[in-house]
Chain A
Amino acid sequence: MSPRDTSFHTSGDTLLDVRGLTVRTDDGRVLVDDLSFTVASGERLGLIGESGSGKSLTTLALLGLLPDGMTATGSVELAGTQVVGAPEKRLTAVRGRDAAVVFQEPLTALDPLMRMGRQIAEPLARRTGLRGRELNSAVTEALVRVRLSEPDRIARAFPHEISGGQRQRVALAMALACDPGLLIADEPTTALDVSVQAEMLDLLDTLVREREMAVLFVSHDLAVVAKVTDRVLVLKDGRAVEEGPVLDVVTAPRAEYTRALVAGARKLESALDLRSPR
């Protein structure tokens, strides 16, 4: 565990301040219920919960990207900008710059008809204003940074032409391209097989530490979250059931649901060899 484990209360100003975030469908169902948490700059927060617990919706709500038919109430302040109810124009400025997302399934998160170099170049060009040759070398650099060994080939390839692990690295490179203050990783390793998962986690961890970037790591997998975060927030049915330093939560879970989660993770851990790639 890093020394940062104990320093999360003092590690700088609040980057993300969520207060009473509630997501409702138009027909009145409450999907995320009165959620409050903060992420300080450089802090790494894990968001744990089973599928349907509102994790992914929360991440989308943070950037004002809820699907049609859902509305968010409460307050989400991202780097000083109020996201809830903000006009599209202000949100566009925030997205990518203050927070970027890595999605669960890299194959669907990359445009199948666009060469990957161009997909990375798009946000890069917008933020840096680079063009032509300089932009190309910035793209190559972004790919090298995520430890892709053949950046030039990857830049020219279409998503279906490279492996799942490589795709997720490209997606990570895209997210990191604009040096966001907060990286939102929505189950970034779930779609990868176990060996690639570990590599990806290491990479993510290293890159984030290098840049002192804040991370919101969303996962259903307690073991994964414990590896890369300082603090966790446990969600169940859209409600926060427990929050605390990751070590405390794993060693001494208070909420019943968390206890079940920890026990489950232990069982899984011991059966890790039998786990088949998803």
Chain B
Amino acid sequence: MTLPAAPLKETEPTESNAPVSRRRRSATLWAGCSLTALIVLLALLSLVWLPFDTDDTSGGRLAGPGDGHLLGTDKLGRDLFTQLMTGARIAVQAGLGSVAVAALVGVTLGVLAAFAQGWLDDTLAAFLDILIAFPTLLLAMLVVAARSATLSSAILAIGLAQSAVVARLVRILVKRVLARDYVTAARTSGTSWPRTVAGHVLPNIWPTLVVNLALQFGLAVLAEAGLSYLGLGAPPPNASWGRMLQEAQATFTTAPAGALAPGILLVVLVVGVNLIADGLRDTLDPATRRRRT
């Protein structure tokens, strides 16, 4: 038989033999992506264009829709839609930032904890358990109180609180993968530890990890809204959905739009991200990909 050079392109789907095309995505993933994209587009748009200035109080107090105000104004006469847009940006920033912090700290700690032995392993595990038992919001409030009430403090605080959850998950996942034969097999063929971790361990925990990180994104968005609601999030004039909710609380019966709109967007984003997480679970694992034929 002839031996043509086999194209071993890892990243490209194999057209002829792959049992399921990678392009086939689950409906859940699509729904999640659309919902999330809606918010992300709002957030991106807010960077280049806003209907009104964020501190423009020229509209009437608690005015209904009209006069250029798509959803009306709040009790200070600021445009609601403008606030929703900047709120979207802050929500996405908070989600991405927190997840980045959680992933970086969590994966590092988790891998270390998985490799640690004896007292170090016990100490790390106990430390993570304590951190997890501590309510995220309370921990975040401590950090924000120690620093200042800015978006980056909120992101740092939420990210650190979540990194404990990520670290514990990673620790268990890594331990499980390390016990697998293919890791031993890689080791017997002379692969060093760092290469084994990068080449075999991380890719094998990746599907579970990425699903968890997507869920953490949703939780981070909620946590940021919670912090802002308590006045510990991004300071004015950056409207965050959480603060909008808090501000609209008193006037909810007379002008429900001020509370409903940020609430709905919050739900849309969190549900969207959770659907993505759910969809990813189905598509990331080659074994499940096969089962879906």
B5-30 vs A, CB cutoff 8 Å, 1 = contact: the mask equals: 11110100010010100000000000
Contact assessment for B191 and A115 in the assembled complex, using a CB-CB cutoff below 8 Å: no
A254 within 8 A of B: no
B10 pairs with A96, CB closer than 8 A: no
Q: Evaluate contact between A108 and B287: CB separation under 8 angstroms.
A: no
Task: Give residues 116-163 of A contacting B (CB, 8 Å).
Answer: 117-118, 121-123, 126-127, 133, 135-137, 139-141, 144, 149, 151-153, 155-158, 160-161
User: Given A92-B190, A112-B204: A157 and B185 within 8 A (CB)?
Assistant: no
Instruction: Tell me which residues across on chain A come within 8 A of B206, comparing CB atoms.
Output: 113
Contacts of A97 in B (CB 8 A): 190
Please report which residues of chain B, range 268-293, place their CB below 8 angstroms from some CB of chain A when the two chains form the complex. 285-287, 290
Within 8 A of A (CB), among B86-123: 117
Residues of chain B with a CB closer than 8 A to A136's CB: 5-8
A149 to B1, CA, bound (A): 9
**Distance (Å) between the CB of B59 and the closest chain A CB?**
55
Which residue of B is nearest A88, CB measured? B193
Contact B191 A123 (CB under 8 A): yes
CB pair A65 B188 closer than 8 Å: yes
Size category of the B interface is: 35 or more
Q: Are B189 and A95 in contact (CB under 8 A)?
A: yes
A121 to B186, CA, bound (A): 12
C-alpha spacing A151/B287, complex, angstroms = 21
Interface residues on A, range: 35 or more
Look across to chain A and name the residue whose beta carbon is closest to the beta carbon of B188: A101
Nearest-neighbour CB distance to chain A for B113, whole angstroms, equals 14
Q: How far is the CA of A65 from the CA of B191 in the complex (A)?
A: 12
User: Which A residues touch B176, using CB under 8 A?
Assistant: none
A-chain residues with CB within 8 Å of residue B200 when the two chains form the complex: 111, 114
**Is the CB–CB distance between B8 and A109 below 8 Å?**
no
Pick the contact of A115 from B10, B204, B207, B285 — CB < 8 Å? B10
CA distance A193 to B225 in the complex (A): 59
The answer to whether B189 and A122 touch across the interface, beta carbons within 8 angstroms, is yes
Q: Are B5 and A156 in contact (CB under 8 A)?
A: no
Please name the residue on chain A nearest to B201 by beta carbon: A111
CB<8 Å pairs between A and B, sample of 6: A99-B188, A123-B190, A123-B191, A127-B190, A136-B5, A157-B17
B interface, CB within 8 angstroms of A: 1, 3-8, 10, 14, 17, 19, 117, 180-182, 184-193, 199-200, 203-204, 206-207, 285-287, 290
